Each structure stands twice: as C-alpha cells, then as structure tokens.
Amino acid sequence: MPRTVPPEPPRPAELLSAQRDARARTLELVSGLTDEQLMGPRLATVNPLRWEVGHVAWFQEHWALRHLWGEPPVRRDGDALYDSSRVAHDTRWDLPLPAMDETLVFAGQVLERVLDRVATRDLSERAVYFYRLALFHEDMHTEAFTYARQTLAYPEPRFTIAAAPMADGAGSLPGDVEVPGGAFSLGATPDTPFVFDNEKWAHEVQVAPFRIARAPVTNDEFAEFVEVGGYRQERHWTEDGWRWRCFAGAERPVYWEPAPGGGFRWRRYDRLEALPAHAPVSHVNAFEAEAYSRWAGRRLPTEAEWELAASGRAIEGTQRLFPWGVDPPTPARANLDGRARGCIDVGALPAGDSPFGCRQMIGNVWEWTATRFLPYPGFVVDPYEQYSEPWFRTPHRVLRGGCWATRGRLIRNTWRNFYEPHRRDVFGGFRTCATS
C-alpha cells in the first residue's frame, strides 16, 4: 500500500547533496560548448547560455544569501547583469557579460557559501524554504538549458546520472479510463513540504464525469493527422490557432521532416533520427494539440480533470503527491531526471499508473491542458513575486506532469507549469479526453 503521509523535511545532508547535484547538471549542460554557442542567436525563447548560468548563480545568492542572511553580493554588478526582472530579455546579448571562466568562478563562489550556510547555520523552516527556492529555480533552468540545446541544434548533452533503458518495445497504450465526477480538492495542501504560490491552496471544485486517455498521444498517432493534411484544414483549428499556423507556416511538428521512403524523421539535437513511433509526440504547442484533438473528435482536459485523473483523491479521500502515492519517483515509476536521455514509449512504466489507470502522468512529456493560467481563490504572492503573478490572466496555458528532463525532486501532481500557447520549444505533448 502506498504511504499517505508526506515525507519528512530534509536533513542538511540531503540539501547539500541536492544543491551540488543541481549545479553539476548546470555545468554538464554548458560543457563542451564554444564561446559562440554559449551566446547563441538572439531568439525570443532562448537566453544566452552564458547569461543564464550567471542568472542561476545570482538568483541563488539573492535568496539564499542576501535575502536570507543579509550578506553582501559577491559581484557589485550582479543585479545589473542578472536580475531577470530588471534586464529585458532582448538586451541580454548586449550586456558586458564576464567571460565564461569568470562566470563559473562566480557561480562556484556562491554555491560554496550556500553549502557552508546549510551545513553550519540553523536549518529553520524559513531557511529551508529559501534554499529550496534557489534549488528548484536551478532545476527549472537546467530543463530550459536542455531544450535550448535542442532548439539551437547543439550536440546532445552528456549527463553523468545513471542511464535508464529507453523502454523501446513497450509500445502504445490505447483506450480511455472512466473518471467519476463530483467534488474534488484541486491544489496543494499545507502539509506538502514545498509548493509554489500558484499551487496554493487546495480548494473544492466540481468535476463532471469524464473519460481520459490512458496515455499521451504518440508520434504515430499524430503523424496520421499530419498525413491527412490536418495542418491545412482550418476547421480543426481554433481562431487563434489558425492565425498562428498561418503566420508560422506550420505543416508538421517543428523538428519533423519527411523521411526517405515515407513517414517522418526528426532532428534530435544535431542529428536526424528515426521518429520513435510509440513515444509521446513532443515539441507541439497548445494550438497543435487542440487541432489534433478536434480532428480526432476529442478535446484537451482541464487542469482539474488532469489532476483528478492523476491523483484519484475523489475515490480515496487522501492526498497523493504522485499518481502512485507519496513515495518519491523512481526510474520504474516515471521517466525523469534525464535518465532515459529522451522520451520513452507511452506503454512503459506501469508501476507509475494512477488509481484510475492513467500512465506516465508524471514524467516523459509535459501535457497541455485547456486551462488558462489563473490564480487559485485567495491567492497570496510568495516572496519571489515575479514567479507567478505577472503571468496570470495572460495567454499562458497550464501544463502538467513534468517531462523526461524534469528533476524528480521538483515535480508532483499539483505542480503547475505555464507557457504561452504558441511555444513549441518546450518538451510539451498532450493526452485527450472524450467529448461525451
């Protein structure tokens, strides 16, 4: 039986290990890149990687040293260079950024100070909060580094974490599961060790009975939509989606191209590879997901439907941090942490099924929902004011569940990701619901 009590607060050794691990992942993701690659082209969806490394270190210093302990900055120019709320995205290529060696020295100095404070000072609830805030911020950026390397066609990153098998041959997982409706508690509860402000707090919503796919839409399934000309048929698209499709000139997912002899292949980092048939379609945006769903006579789930299908709280009456319970993710339950180096077949990892029988609701690929990113009732902003509040009531759409590059210590059933609906660079896919 899964445990129904959240895990204990972390001990100093656990925090120290996690901080070192996060920084090691950051360094792996910029390793081997040239000075030119570390700056890269000026794109709306990608930061200069040299700037981003400095920003990660600056954020850690800002919250875990300066805000928490009142310490002076390591660099006097740090705020002017790396504060993302002050430095507009388009200007980050024009800043007098230090060289990469100097940036890494700065990052190392900050990390060593944080490790010392964790090891030698009071590990109060407040201190743990800010250490975790900086840790999880770095985890989110290492995922961004990973998809940036895909966007920019850089070589595949080399992770030192033990690899997990790709689960080729697990196949697809067709069909729906029935989810009963009724009152459902959406959101995180105060006994969860750490949550972001947009998850606060659990509140009752009414959900009608629905049927949701056991697994995300696969490459093979999405290829049918492409092959019948779904991208060129306006009737499948929302008004905003059709406007985007016409502007972008999209005919297929962004990294796909016709393969010799028929079908499709895709660019994976800097190489063309066969398209894995039963892996979830990835790098599709909300508009593409909606168009496929309409073509298939289906729809995207709301985020309340998604969370209910993942947690099963309506039938158990307990809080589940994950589809399988509250025990931390393992490679047998979820494709996370970069262990598989990419997406795996949607039929893999039955040990991670939700109580209703949905598979891979945590890991493998982020899943678009039909829900705009809005605050929960009674929302109160957390100390990091720029995390959620600026993006409420914008076109941003909620995604759920994490992806293969998401860190396992970061994700849970209630975690709300959010991107503008046109974004195709993130590891985004989707599963569908029946329309009746």
Same domain, residue pair 184 and 139: no
pLDDT reported for residue 193:
87
| pLDDT (tens digit per residue) in 390-407 | 999 999 999 999 999 999
Same domain, residue pair 317 and 421: yes
User: Could you tell me the pLDDT band of residue 382, with boundaries at 50, 70 and 90?
Assistant: very high
Does some domain include residue 79? yes
- Mean pLDDT, range 288-317, rounded to an integer: 91
pLDDT reported for residue 315:
58
Same domain, residue pair 186 and 329: yes
One-letter amino acid of 230: G
Same domain, residue pair 142 and 180: no
Query: Could you tell me which residues are beta bridge partners of residue 244?
Result: none
Q: What is the CATH number of the domain that holds 134?
A: 1.20.120.450
HEC per residue, the chain: CCCCCCCCCCCHHHHHHHHHHHHHHHHHHHCCCCHHHHHCCCECCECCHHHHHHHHHHHHHHHHHHHHHCCCCCCCCHHHHHCCCCCCHHHCCCCCCCCHHHHHHHHHHHHHHHHHHHHHCCCCHHHHHHHHHHHHHHHHHHHHHHHHHHHCCCCCCCCCCCCCCCCCCCCCCCCEEEECCEEEEECCCCCCCCCCHHHCCCEEEEECCEEEECCCCEHHHHHHHHHCCHHHCHHHCCHHHHHHHHHHCCCCCCCEEECCCCCEEEEECCEEEECCCCCECCCCCHHHHHHHHHHCCEECCCHHHHHHHHHCHHHHCCCCCECCECCCCCCCCCCCCCCCCCCCCCCCCHHHCCCCCCCCCCCCCEEEEEEECCCCCCCCCCCCCCCCHHHCCCCCEEEECCCCCCCCCCCCCCCEEEECCCCCCCCEECCCEECC
The least confident of 156-170, 179-193, 244-258, 352-366 is 156-170
| pLDDT (tens digit per residue) in 173-231 | 999 999 998 999 999 999 888 999 999 999 999 999 999 999 999 999 999 999 999 99
Does some domain include residue 125? yes
Strands 210-213, 176-179: pairing kind: antiparallel
Does some domain include residue 127? yes
Does some domain include residue 167? no
Same domain, residue pair 140 and 284: no
**Is the predicted pLDDT of residue 1 greater than 70, yes or no?**
no
Q: What is the CATH number of the domain that holds 392?
A: 3.90.1580.10
Same domain, residue pair 184 and 333: yes
pLDDT reported for residue 316:
56
| pLDDT (tens digit per residue) in 251-278 | 999 999 999 999 999 999 999 999 999 9
| pLDDT (tens digit per residue) in 118-154 | 999 989 999 999 999 999 999 999 999 999 999 999 9
Residue numbers of the domain that contains 95:
12-151
Does some domain include residue 227? no
Last residue of a domain, one of 116, 151, 186: 151
- Mean pLDDT, range 271-295, rounded to an integer: 98
User: Could you tell me the pLDDT band of residue 9, with boundaries at 50, 70 and 90?
Assistant: low
Same domain, residue pair 423 and 293: yes
- pTM of the entire predicted model: 0.96
Same domain, residue pair 202 and 330: yes
Does some domain include residue 86? yes
User: Could you tell me the pLDDT band of residue 167, with boundaries at 50, 70 and 90?
Assistant: confident
pLDDT reported for residue 329:
97
pLDDT reported for residue 5:
47
Does some domain include residue 203? yes
Comparing 436 with 71, the larger pLDDT belongs to: 71
Same domain, residue pair 144 and 186: no
Average pLDDT, the chain: 95
**Is the predicted pLDDT of residue 374 greater than 60, yes or no?**
yes
| pLDDT (tens digit per residue) in 39-72 | 999 999 999 999 999 999 999 999 999 999 999 9
Does some domain include residue 95? yes
Same domain, residue pair 295 and 418: yes
User: Could you tell me the pLDDT band of residue 3, with boundaries at 50, 70 and 90?
Assistant: very low
pLDDT reported for residue 314:
59
Same domain, residue pair 372 and 292: yes
What is the tally of structural domains in the chain? 2
Same domain, residue pair 189 and 101: no
